[in-house]
Amino acid sequence: MTEKHLSSQFDTELSGISTRVLEMGGLVESQVAMAIEALTHFNGDIASQVLTHEERVNAMEMAIDADLSAIIARRQPTARDLRLLIAISKTIGNLERVGDEAARVARTVQRLINTGVSSRLRLPVSDVSFEAGLATASLRKALDAFARLDTQTALEVIKSDNEIDAEFDGLMRKLITYMMEDPRTISASIDLVFVAKAIERVGDHAKNLAEQVIYIVKGTDVRHNTPDVVESIIK
């Protein structure tokens, strides 16, 4: 078998795995959206669907990870290709954790419904939805950056993380005010704190995905750097 044929097979395998990563990304993005819809409408059926999808996400992560290990063992990739495979492995790990956060929100919705919390109770659910919109937009953009290996789009995701963090901080202050003004909201507000934190982590994982895109393209680990430093690296 010629070296060119081997290279062509390897490229086909990588393309197939990248497609599956994007499929997994689309599924976890849907999970987050469904979890927030379940919260907004206090819908237990939608929350249950999120938990069903979690099993599929976990299975996808394990299958892709196994295929990555097989490729590394069989192909013995060069440094650049090995960097890509490592980055993909970290990417699916982050996607799986996004699915975990969506499932956490769904379980919280189920708990709120089971404890009889009324959807009419005065709580800043719309603020949580706004934070979720920012986080899912970042996740979608990070997946787009991965699909096109676009470092500029990846940089935009990294920069947007501060906005999600600021929204989370503002929501925390609002929830504290709600609890002080109306003790009846304390239990449900605490649940919303955990929901808001889960969504904030979705934004963190989107940022991690973006950092892996830059690692693939530039070969530089940009984690723990400021957006300005990252921008100077990709120029």
Place of tokens 């530039």: 218
Q: Is 201 helix (H, G, I), strand (E, B) or coil?
A: helix
Which pLDDT does position 95 carry in this prediction? 96
Residue 4 is predicted with a pLDDT of: 45
Closest CA to 196 of 219, 223, 166: 166
Position 116 scores a pLDDT of 74
Buried b (16+ CB within 10 A) or exposed e, 2-12: eeeeeeeeeee
Please report the pLDDT score of residue 149 as a whole number: 92
Q: Taking a C-beta distance cutoff of 8 angstroms, is the pair 164, 232 a contact?
A: no
Per-residue confidence in pLDDT tens, the chain, 235 aa:
344 434 678 788 888 999 999 999 999 999 999 999 998 888 999 999 999 999 999 999 999 999 999 988 887 777 778 888 999 999 999 999 999 999 999 999 998 888 876 555 566 778 888 889 999 999 999 999 999 999 999 999 999 999 999 999 999 998 898 888 888 878 888 888 999 999 999 999 999 999 999 999 988 889 988 989 998 888 7
How far from 35 is each of 42, 44, 108, 132, CA to CA, in Å? Answer: 10, 10, 10, 10
Give 123's contacts (C-beta < 8 A, 6+ positions apart): 178, 185, 188, 189, 192
* Dist CA 229 CA 212 (whole Å): 15
Phi and psi at 123, nearest 5°, equal: -140, 150
pLDDT of residue 134: 92
DSSP track, 24-36: HHHHHHHHHHHHH
Tokens for 83?
């960097």
